[in-house]
Amino acid sequence: MSVTIEPAPSGRAKCRACGRAIARGELRLGERAPNPFGDGEATYWFHLECGARKRPEAAIEALAACTSLPTDAMELRSLAAVGQAHPRLARVAGAHRSPSARARCRHCRQQIEHGSVRIALDIWEEGRFGGAGYVHPSCAAEYFGAIDDLPTRVTRCAPEIDPSVLAELIADLRGTGPG
Ligand SMILES: [Zn+2]
Ligand SMILES: [Zn+2]
């Protein structure tokens, strides 16, 4: 794997983590890996903050090798260090109301109630994030190991989140929510 931090030459590339475009001229994290769909290598791009949250190992390696550091390099490094210490945090992919009672929590293995808020997980494999199930907000502290900035992680990956879902998530994380 080789990594890089460089300015985006156009505004066309989308961040693999949040799906939004990376603005022209903005520094971005690039991760080169063998192309799973053909020959040669593919480069996957991330906003720096998204990369520090979702690809902490790559972000730390790229920051260490970068000669013209971004102004927020220290914050990015500490964000990535938290991700290294608690690797499951990189799985946070969003939050939503459970559309059914079929899914089981990856932590406690109990069903997640229909209509209750659940945290969605994903895992990076071969150049894409694949869905990896859900956890109860009440199980988040034990599952992730650190939940101080969990709402920020959720909104970073899911900027369109319903405000009522976010409010319920925050309440559940504090242990004051229903259930
Ligand atoms: Zn992003
Ligand atoms: Zn649970």
**Would the pTM count as exceeding 0.85?**
yes
Mean pLDDT of 141-159: 93
CA of residue 126 to ligand 1 center, whole Å: 18
The full set of domains in the chain, from first to last, is: 2-85 (3.30.1740.10), 89-173 (3.30.1740.10)
pLDDT tens by residue, 20-46: 999 999 999 999 988 888 888 999 999
Long-range contact list for 35-38, CB < 8 A, 24+ apart? 35/127, 36/126, 36/127
Task: Check the CA dihedral 81-85-87-88 and report its sign.
Answer: negative
pLDDT tens by residue, 100-132: 999 999 999 999 999 999 999 999 998 889 999
Residue 34: in which H helix or E strand, if any?
Answer: strand 27-34
CA of residue 176 to ligand 1 center, whole Å: 31
The protein residues having their C-beta less than 5 angstroms from ligand 2 (an ion) are: 105, 107-108, 136, 139
Q: Closest-lying ligand to the alpha carbon of 109? A: 2
CA of residue 112 to ligand 2 center, whole Å: 7
